[in-house]
Every structure is written in C-alpha cells, then in structure tokens.
Structure 1
Amino acid sequence: MRDVIVNYDINDYKAKTELTSEKLFITIITALRSYDNIRTAREAQSASRLKSSFLATMSHEIRTPMNAVLGMLELMSHTGLDDDQMEMLFTARDAAGTLLRIIDDILDFSKIEAGRMDIECHPVALGPLVEGVADMLAAQARKRALDLHVHIDPAIPELLMGDPLRLRQVLYNLTGNAIKFTEKGGVTLSVRCLPGAAPGRALVRVAVQDTGIGIDDDVQKQLFQPFTQAESSTSRRFGGTGLGLSISRRLIDLMQGRIGLDSALGQGSTFWFEIDLAVAQEQPVAAPQPALPSLAGLTVLVAAETQALRDTVNCYIEAAGGRVAGDGQPWNVAVVVPRPGDVWPDLPLGKPAVLVAAADSVRPAGLPSGTVQIGRPVRRVPLIRAVASAAGQETAARAAASPLRQGRGEPPPIEVAMAQGRLVLVAEDQPVNQMVIRRQLSLLGIAAEVTEDGRQALTAWRTGRFGLVLTDCNMPEMDGFELTAAIREAETGTGLRTPIIALTANAMAGESQRCLAAGMDGFLAKPLELDRLDRCLAQWLPPLSDGGAKAAPPPLLDTTPGDATRGDTTAVLNLARTLELFSVLDDEARAFLSDFLGAARPLADGLVHAFTLDDAGAARREAHALAGVAKSAGADVLARVADRVEEALVQGKVDEARQAAKAVPGALEQVAAAIASL
C-alpha cells in the first residue's frame, strides 16, 4: 500500500483533474450558450408575436375609422354634389382605399413572416371567382383606357378545393399590378386546365398577360422579393409598398404551387401561377334557380375588336350548344363588343343583338327590339343568358322560375299611417337588413321608419307616432333589450303599452324567453318570411276598419326560421328570399345581392380578425351580424356557419368557435360565386 502511495504520479492526478475541469468548464459554457440561444430564440419569438399583435391591432384601429371614412364618402356621393365636389370626393375615396390596401399588405406580410398565415381548404368556384376579380378592377382599367379581358376554360371543374380568400388576393395583386403598369393596350386574365393531373384533381394555370413595356431579365430575378419594384421611380409614380408580388409568391408557396414571370423589354409581361387542386367531391346544395339556358339551334354572329375576345365569346357560345356564324352565313343573334370608348356600331335592323359594354356606357336610342346590354369584361353566364334572352328563349323560363308575389298596394303616407295607428318603427343597424325589412313592409302595404340603433329608435318613439316597434336585439349604442327597458320605463303610469317585437338572427334556446323577460311582446327569428311578418302585423296592428285600441294578444313566439334554413338541406344561395322581395331576378334584385356581399365581407373579415386578437366579444358581435345579413339575403350555408360560431362563443367554447370560423371565408366565396353566376 505504501509503495502504491509513494509511487503514484502526482502529474497524472493533476492531468486528470485539469481534464475534468476543462470538460466541466466546456459543459457549463455550452449550457450557458444554449440557454442564451434558447432565451434569444424565445425573445425573438415573443417579439415576433408582439410585432404581429401590434400590427394586427394597429391595422384594426386604422381600418375601423378608414371604413367609416369610405362609408361616409359613399353616402356623400348620393347627395347631389356638383362636378368639382364629386371629383374631390372620388380623389379622397381613392386615397382612403389605397391606404387600406397598404395596411392589408403590411399585415399579411407580417403574418407570413411570423408563420401565422394559414391556408384553408373549401369548395371554390374558380371561374366566377376570377370573373369577380375582373369586375372589381374593371373601373380601374376603364380609367386608364385599357381593355380588360377574361377567358375561363370550360374544362375547369365547377368546384375545386382551395383557399378562395387567398386565391382572390393573389389574382387581385397580379391583375391590379398589370393594369397599374400598362400604359396602353390591355390586360388578359386567363384560366385553363393543364394536362397531367391525377384522377380527381385539376392542374390549373392562371395567367395575367399585359401589353406593357416588359421587364428586364436582371430585374425579374428580384421582383418577387419584398419591397421590390421594377424601378426606383415606380413607387413615386404609382404608389404601393412593393409587397404585393412577395406576398403572392409566398401564398402560392403555401398552396404547394409555383409562380413565375415571362417577360421581355418591349413585349409585355405574363405573370402566372400553377396550382394542383382537388376536385370537390360533394356539390353544395343549391336552391332552385333558373337553369343556364341551352343555345342549341342558335347561330350567333360575333363582332369583337380583338381575336382573343372573339375566341372567348366563340368558346362560351359553342360550350352552351350554339353555333358561331362564319363570314356570309345567316345568323339569329349578334354579339357586338366595341372597343372601350368607341362609338356604338350600326346594328342590322330587325335582328336581335347583345351589346357588351361598360356598365356606365350610355345606351343608344333606336336599338332593335330584343337588344340586350351586358357589362364588360365578358362573363360566361351573363353572356349565355343575354344571347338566349335576345333570341326570346329566356323570358318564359325566367317567368316560370320566378313566382310573382303580389303586394297590397303602396304604403299610405306617414301621416295617414300614424292616424291609423299603423306606423311601424324599425330599429336595425345592418344596411342589408334595413333594406329587407323596409321592402317587406312595403310589399305588405305598411308604412315604416327605420333607425340605425336603439338610441335613435328611442328618440323616434318618444314622438308618439308609432303603433309597433320591430327591433334587432344586438345593435351599437343601445341594443334591443336596452331600448325595450327604456320604453317600458317611460310608459310606467301612462296606461299605454307599445307592442315591441324582436327581430334577431339568434334562434338559440332561451332567446325567446329572454326577450319576453325584457318586456318585449314577441320574437321573430331571421330569416323573416313575408307570411310570418304578415301574421305578426295582423296580430299587433289595429285593423284598417277600426283605429281604436285593442286588447293585447298573447305573446308571439315564432322561433322557427324560414324554410330556407330548416332541415339538413342548406342552400348556398336561396333565391326564394330574393324573389320574395323583388318578384323577378332583375337588376334591382342583383344590386341587392351585391349590396349584401359588400356588407358581408367586412363582417367576415372582422370575425377572422377578432380571433386573431383573441377578442371573443368582438367575434360574437361580428358572427351575430354576419348571420343576420346572411339570413336576410338567403345565404343559408354562410348563415349556418356564423350561427355555429356564435353559439360556440355563447357557450364559452372559444376553440370550437375559432375552428368553426375557419369555414366562414369559404362559405362566403360560395355565395359570391353563386351571385356571380346569376
């Protein structure tokens, strides 16, 4: 043992100790560095979340007043301004719209950078979606004297599975850029199917071709990078953030597609993307509507200024069963497409024709009988319907499919209705719902005044002119429950009681009892059909033969929504709602549906945005409002989705509501596609 101790090499001990210390030191330093890296990564992640949250919040805070500015400018445009004032108004409106687009670009880019951009998968009617984008940009093209042309391959399946919101965004970016940077000529937006797709799928190529000056090869390599434009002077000349193409590229990447550019100086540019989409297996249940007519037996003469436009019109006519007349051949109907700004061509006397021109073009006098005018860009369904209508084949079908609802004459003057005790006060904040209830009451011969919230309604009620109050339950400033409480308090000790009926999209259990407990006399669930509204009015308004008071009837508890939403069969667009209001599917009815889309899109965006901010209260308000306008317009699928979101939020199931809300954009796009096809 002594020898072992004496002969032990102290240097060996020191070496081992030093080695162990070195390892320990390295381990500690490595751990500290790892911790620092983790902390840095977490701080970066937290900073990214904070940045995204900040940008989302700021975007919302800026967008809200800007929407108000745009809305007031739109209202101001209908107040009889002179030419100079209208020019200033349009300038202000364009500037506000540009600011909103810049805000959206920055917010979307931030979401993509933070990895928070989700791609949804819903049924998409790609043809109407593309045509809808062209419609939105048509005025911009006309302002620059450009021809905007759309061609949809008839081989495109009716419904594909994709993200309609993001597809529209990419299309809007590419087409908007093409219009912005093209000085003369035009822009062509085309969609076609490529060969080689797997069974049950479609390989789609979308191309935006312009007649601009083209882009140099060196610039092309940088063009899809953020904050990049072809020239340094571009942003000064045209405005914009330079984010549109970068966002488009990243969105297409997220869709597992590819995007590119073919261009040469002096030869224009073609921006394109290709995506592989599944064909939707289940078609949405569609409400009965006039079927697309067949053009079999018709020979159509096509007169258009470009070969591309002629090819498109020819393609649509032949796909509908018609024949295109050759030179010198007899024909039944002419389709004439003059160049924007050109004078109207001379049309053969005694021959029906379809004129394709901008919506704001002046219709010339002395056109042959049977002449039909449709807007540009050319869209397949309106073109086919117009040709059939000009040939006299569409009128009978439309009449058979559109049962006419007879009204009861014009509503009496306000003073007469007030003297009869039959003047109705309506409290409703959504413009689409206001239009619906106003028209329904008019069809029933009832005079009414409409207010935008409970506070305005209370002020109007205090005048003592109204025999019945119809109120929405969820409104800004003062809701329907607060309005009812204020009215009942004011009536205390007077011996008077004004009937108050709730109109609401909330058909959940317990809502009717809540309305009665608040002092209301009845409850009508949206969508509200004329028959149910008529029964309500008959129950609560004094009959025309007797203007005196009558005993209060039992409470009205009609919690049954209209037939459109009953059962498992749900329509994307239930035209029965529109036909009930307008009798026929005319321009006024289409304008109503267009107004509905204009009201629904901000509500849908607000719903998605509320979940981004984790604001369940705001999400519930947006879902309720969206369900209401959707039911009023017959958008049953969208209404059901919004109802599902609201119900989950009421029950405190935020995650379930968030998941349900993901279906909102797709449902809205289905409605938009259905409206576009009318």
Structure 2
Amino acid sequence: MSALTLQNLQTIIQKSGIGILILDSDLIIRLCNLWFYRYSSLTPADVENKHFFEVFSDLRETRIENSIRFCLDEKQYSILTHTLNPYPFPLYENNKAKVENKRMYQYLHIIPIPVNDSGKSLCMIQISDVSQQVIRENMLREQMNLATTTKEEAIRASNAKSDFLASMSHEIRTPLNSILGMTELMEETKLTEDQREYIEVLRNSGKALFNIINDILDFSRIEAGKLEIDNHPFSLTNVIDETLSLFFLRAKNKGIRLDSEISPNLSSSVYGDPIRIQQVLINLLGNAIKFTQEGSISVSVYQDFDLEYHKEILVIEVKDTGMGIPPEKLEKIFESFTQVDSSTTRQFGGTGLGLAISKKLTELMGGRIFLTSQLSKGSTFIIKLPYLPYIDNVHLMVTSWEGIEVPEPENFPKLKILLTEDSPENVFLVQSFLRKYPIEIDVAENGQIALDKTEQTKYDLVLMDMQMPIMDGNDAILRIRERELKKHTKTKDSLPIIALTANVAKEDISKSFEAGCNSYLTKPVKKMDLLRLLFFYTKKD
C-alpha cells in the first residue's frame, strides 16, 4: 500500500463525519472541514485565517477558550462533554433550530498537535454531534423519573390503603366486638327455643362477617408485602388436631365423616409458622365442609422427597367427596375473588379470597399448593412445604394463659382494673362480662386519662385499647413504662398491661409489645379469653 499523500489527508479531514478545526498558536483558524461548514452555515471566507474569537466572539471566557489555551500552552489533551460545556459552538441541525437558537449537543476533543521540533503546537478541535444520544438519554431519564414517580405513588397508595384498612378494621371490629359479645351474654340468660335460634343466626352471621374482614385484611397485607412468616418449632400434630376440632361439629351436623392420618415417621415437632399453616388448613377444610353434602373429608400428613428440588418435603392433603371443580376452572381457582360460578356465591357465600390467600401463604412459607378434582366426585388439595424437623423438642413447653382453668366467681381473686376504652359499647360489654366477678372496674376514655389514673391509683391490671383520641394506647403504655423505669420499678412489680386491639396485623401487634404491653386480646373479645388472661396475670402463686 502506497503512503498517504498530503492531498489524501486533506480529503479525509474534509469528508470526516465529525467537525474539525485546526488553530495555530496565535489562535488563527488554519483549517475547517466541510462538516463544520455544513452545520455552522459559515463559508471558508468567514472562517479561514481569521482569529478564533473574531469568528466566535461568544465563546470568550468559556470552557472552550480555557481548554484551547491549555492545549496550546501546556500541550494538554481535553474532553468537553455537553454537560460540561454550557456554551458550545454555534452549530445547528437545521434552519429552524438556528432561528430558535437551539444549538446541537456537542462532544469535543481538544488535541495538541506538535509542529516539528519548534516546541510549538497546533490545536485540533474535533466536534461530534451527540444530539440524538442526549435526546435518548433525556427520554430514558424521563421514563426513569416517571417510573420512580409511579412507584412512589404506588407505595403511597399502598400505604394509604393499608392505613385505611387498619382504620376500617378498627372501626368495623369495634361494633362487631359489641355484637358478638352481647350475643355471648344473651346466651347465658333464660331464652325460649325460638330466641336461641335467633341468637345462633346472629352469632353465625357475626362470625361470617369477622371471617370476611380477616380475609380482606390478610389479602391486602400479602399484596402489600407486609405479611411476615414466622419460623419456630411447633407440634404439627397439635395444629392438625386443633384445626380439625373446629370442624367436627359442622361435619357431624351435615352427616359427613371427618378423618385424619398423620404419618408416624414425622418428627413430633417441626420448624415453621403454625398460625399460617392453620390458616391455610382452615380455608381448605372450610371449603371442603361447605361444598361436600355427603361422604367424607380426610386430612393426610406425611413426609416425601421432592425429586425436582432434591429435598425432604412435608405433604398435607385435604381430600373431600364434594361437588368437584370443572376442568376449565382448575387453573383460575386460586385467583383472587374467584369461585366456580356465580351460583356458588349465591348459594354458599364467601369472598372468593380463601384459596388465593392459601396459595400466597403457602408460597411465602416456601411451598406450593396443587389441586386435583373431578366434577361430582370431589377434590384433593395438596400442600407441599419444606420439611424441617425439630429434634431437640423435649423441652418444647410454652407458658401461656390460653387454656388455663378459670375459677368460679366466688373463688376468683379480687381485682381493681383500669379499662381504657373510648367506645361506650365496649365498656358496657367488658363490664357485663365481669359483672359476676369480684372485679372493680375504673374507666379511662383515652390514653392521657389512663396515664394520669395509673399515677394516682394502684391497679392490678390495665386493659388498654390501641386506637383512641388525644393519646393512643401505644403512647400511653410507653409513658407508663418510662415512668416505672424512672422509679426503678422491678419487673415483677410492674403493672400488667393488656392491649385490646382491632388490628390483627403482626406489625401492629409488635408495636404494642415494643411499647411494653404484656399480652394482647384481639377484638372481638371473648368472655372466657378475657377471664383467663385476667386470672393468669393476677393470680397469686
């Protein structure tokens, strides 16, 4: 290949796809290529052999001038991006841009070119048009900002929804607490057979409403990613037996056999979340009872090996001989607000959230849920969970107020308690629950009054509602504990405080424990649970 001639080099420069200017040490423009002339609308007569600032007077005292002088004086290479160079060359994409003075976005290389051995240099300025790149970057940035804004709005909307649901939970559960509580009290009175039937309908309707509220709140928390899964050892057998006991009477009344079989090879205790496992089982057994008119329902629990994941798994099967599910509905049955058809909703009721919640809870626990079904023959739901046996379970004992025996009123300890509650209906309900027992009840309408009363009067226990005006329950509990800390009150002598909460979310309950409550009761409060708890925290050893 022959050597490049001077004419070849000049042609390359003139036809280059970027702008090129060459200045001498006196800032005289010695060369300018066609690309530059095209986008500047200048001619060779306007530019060549002219002083740089005679042609480009508006570039004085800019980064371009500084870089050019740095190049000629210090022989230093410079790069100027469009973000570093707010005063670019007067180059325009077209006449319209020129009229609007919208200069193209430019990327500059300012390069020293040595001249023989004279010690002097030329300055070559290379100009690239990066307008399209900048437009793409701006569009991408706008999209990212929009995505960020959309995400933030979604988070705000989710938080607002969570706050709304928490508030609605409190507002709905508070009157529901009174309805179910008064129903429980009415059952203790002398009633006619008709009245007992009316009370039974009222109680069942209240419980149905309570379950619907729980489904909606659970589904909302799962969707918002706010539902946490525990992982601690528990007795799987106890969970299964306790869950089945909830359905024995319903199954018996329908003439349905309810069986269970737990493999003897399973560890007596396993790691997991017993509350969520029970919640899934309650949903599945509730559906099985609802849609089975005759035959049987069985729960089988055993250990298996998952070939796909190469690990031991815990398998729970719930099988019924009910109405079954059409094949076309099998894939969608786990979707939210889905039931087999509209007649199912009319005949059996329900929110259509139970199976959706069960699926999401199973997945949160690291498992999967499957369904096989034959129309008119029955369905089998299969839950597969990680099998994590708890071996050292000899001392797996938890002291709790649940299940303890409550003495008759005449043998119950004499107590003075403070009920902090802003709902007159709930105050009346608690007073009615305890009217036969030697318990003196003071009432505080908000946390501030409770704080003052506990300072002035010695109480055996405080029942503290969480959502109240002026000062809520958590703040009041925190202030009481701070006061005890300042007085160096021993732990055994601290005031037992029981949170009464309509918010069943784990994070809300955790806040109450962080504030310093000893235990909690969720609304609607049951009479026997209240008595057990009072006895547990005030009995003399």
Measured after TM superposition, the shift of residue 175 of structure 1 is 0.4
Measured after TM superposition, the shift of residue 243 of structure 1 is 0.6
Partners of 1:271 and 1:39 lie apart in 2 by 42
Report the identity percentage: 31
Higher fraction of strand:
2
Decide whether aligned partners of structure 1 residues 411 and 9 sit closer, same or farther in structure 2, where only a CA change above 3 A counts. Answer: closer
1:612 maps to what in 2? 508
Measured after TM superposition, the shift of residue 186 of structure 1 is 2.1
2:146 matched to 1:119? no
2:4 matched to 1:4? no
1:236 maps to what in 2? 346
Partners of 2:175 and 2:291 lie apart in 1 by 30
Measured after TM superposition, the shift of residue 154 of structure 1 is 2.1
Measured after TM superposition, the shift of residue 504 of structure 1 is 8.1
Decide whether aligned partners of structure 1 residues 172 and 501 sit closer, same or farther in structure 2, where only a CA change above 3 A counts. Answer: closer
2:425 maps to what in 1? none
SS at match of 1:279: coil
Aligned AA (2:453): E
Measured after TM superposition, the shift of residue 21 of structure 1 is 3.2
2:385 matched to 1:271? no
State whether residues 173 and 248 of structure 1, in contact with CA within 8 Å, keep that contact through their aligned partners in structure 2. yes
**What per-residue deviation string (whole Å, max 9, x for no partner) do you get for residues 435-489 of structure 1?**
xxxxxxxxxxxxx952362259xxxxxxxxxxxxxxxxx9999869838947xxx
In the TM superposition, 1:180-199 aligns within 5 A as 180-195=290-305
2:316 maps to what in 1? 206
2:416 matched to 1:427? yes
1:177 maps to what in 2? 287
2:282 matched to 1:138? no
State whether residues 607 and 623 of structure 1, in contact with CA within 8 Å, keep that contact through their aligned partners in structure 2. no
Structure showing greater radius of gyration is 2
2:94 matched to 1:94? no
Q: Which of 130, 142, 166 pairs up with 1:32? A: 142
SS at match of 1:203: strand
2:133 maps to what in 1? 23
Measured after TM superposition, the shift of residue 615 of structure 1 is 6.0
Q: Which of 151, 173, 177 pairs up with 1:67? A: 177
**What per-residue deviation string (whole Å, max 9, x for no partner) do you get for residues 373-406 of structure 1?**
xxxxxxxxxxxxxxxxxxxxxxxxxxxxxxxxxx
Aligned AA (1:268): G
1:482 maps to what in 2? 453
Decide whether aligned partners of structure 1 residues 625 and 218 sit closer, same or farther in structure 2, where only a CA change above 3 A counts. Answer: closer
State whether residues 236 and 270 of structure 2, in contact with CA within 8 Å, keep that contact through their aligned partners in structure 1. yes
- Let me know the Cα RMSD of the aligned residues: 4.6
Measured after TM superposition, the shift of residue 139 of structure 1 is 2.3
State whether residues 210 and 270 of structure 1, in contact with CA within 8 Å, keep that contact through their aligned partners in structure 2. yes
Partners of 1:172 and 1:8 lie apart in 2 by 77
In the TM superposition, 1:56-455 aligns within 5 A as 56-195=166-305, 203-283=313-393, 285=395, 425-428=414-417, 450-451=438-439, 453-455=441-443
**What per-residue deviation string (whole Å, max 9, x for no partner) do you get for residues 131-180 of structure 1?**
11111122222232222222222222111000111101100000000000
Decide whether aligned partners of structure 1 residues 218 and 6 sit closer, same or farther in structure 2, where only a CA change above 3 A counts. Answer: closer
Q: TM-score, normalised by structure 1?
A: 0.48
Q: Which of 146, 154, 166 pairs up with 1:44? A: 154
Partners of 1:168 and 1:454 lie apart in 2 by 38
SS at match of 2:169: helix
> Tell me, which stretches of 5 or more residues in structure 2 are unaligned?
1-27, 41-90, 94-103, 106-128, 400-406, 420-435, 464-476, 523-529
SS at match of 2:387: strand
SS at match of 2:31: helix
Aligned AA (1:127): T
SS at match of 1:155: coil
Aligned AA (1:252): T
**What per-residue deviation string (whole Å, max 9, x for no partner) do you get for residues 506-526 of structure 1?**
99898599699xxxxxx995x
Measured after TM superposition, the shift of residue 611 of structure 1 is 3.6
Decide whether aligned partners of structure 1 residues 87 and 619 sit closer, same or farther in structure 2, where only a CA change above 3 A counts. Answer: farther
Partners of 1:509 and 1:59 lie apart in 2 by 29
In the TM superposition, 1:523-672 aligns within 5 A as 525=492, 609=505, 611-612=507-508, 616=512, 620-621=516-517, 623=519, 632-633=535-536
Aligned AA (2:37): I
> Tell me, which stretches of 5 or more residues in structure 1 are unaligned?
290-406, 413-422, 431-447, 457-473, 487-499, 517-522, 526-557, 562-599, 635-678
Partners of 1:618 and 1:479 lie apart in 2 by 19
Partners of 1:110 and 1:134 lie apart in 2 by 27
Aligned AA (1:612): D
Aligned AA (2:144): S
State whether residues 267 and 391 of structure 2, in contact with CA within 8 Å, keep that contact through their aligned partners in structure 1. no
Partners of 2:322 and 2:521 lie apart in 1 by 44
State whether residues 152 and 191 of structure 1, in contact with CA within 8 Å, keep that contact through their aligned partners in structure 2. yes
Aligned AA (2:319): Q
State whether residues 454 and 477 of structure 1, in contact with CA within 8 Å, keep that contact through their aligned partners in structure 2. no
**What per-residue deviation string (whole Å, max 9, x for no partner) do you get for residues 611-634 of structure 1?**
439965996457377999669559
Partners of 1:94 and 1:265 lie apart in 2 by 30
Partners of 1:559 and 1:133 lie apart in 2 by 36
Measured after TM superposition, the shift of residue 22 of structure 1 is 3.3
Decide whether aligned partners of structure 1 residues 61 and 171 sit closer, same or farther in structure 2, where only a CA change above 3 A counts. Answer: same
Decide whether aligned partners of structure 1 residues 559 and 108 sit closer, same or farther in structure 2, where only a CA change above 3 A counts. Answer: closer
SS at match of 1:454: strand
State whether residues 453 and 479 of structure 1, in contact with CA within 8 Å, keep that contact through their aligned partners in structure 2. no
Partners of 2:138 and 2:352 lie apart in 1 by 47
